[in-house]
Amino acid sequence: MVYNTCTFCGKVYADNAKVLVCDKCEVILTWKSSMNYLAAVNRVSDLIRTGKLDSKLQNENYCKANFGVRAAQVIMDAIDGSRISR
C-alpha cells in the first residue's frame, strides 16, 4: 500500500498506485459528462465552504499546468460560484 495526501482536500488515503487525489476528489480530474461536472463543482464548492481548498488552487494557470484544462475549468467555475453566493 502507498499512502498519499489528497491534493485537494488534504486527506491521507491508501492506494495501490501513486495518484494525486482521494476517491471523493477523483471526480474533479476525471469528469466526462455534465452530471460528473456538476458533482465535481459541488465537491470543490464543499472544499471552499469548509476552508480545505488550498489557496494556490485559486490560480487558473497553476491548475491548468498541474491538472489540465478540464479540472481547471471545474475549479474556476466553483470558485466563481462561491464568490457570487457570498
Question: What is the tens place of the pLDDT at every residue in 15-72?
Answer: 877 778 888 999 999 888 999 999 999 999 999 999 998 889 999 999 999 999 999 9
**What's the confidence (pLDDT) of residue 85?**
58
Are 57 and 74 a contacting pair, CB within 8 Å? no
- DSSP assignments along 9-76, one per residue: T--EEEESS--SS-TTTHHHHH--SHHHHHHHHHHHHHHHHHT-S-GGGG-HHHHHHHH-HHHHHHHH
What pTM was computed for the model? 0.86
Query: In the chain, where are the structural domains located?
Result: 24-85
**What's the confidence (pLDDT) of residue 86?**
54
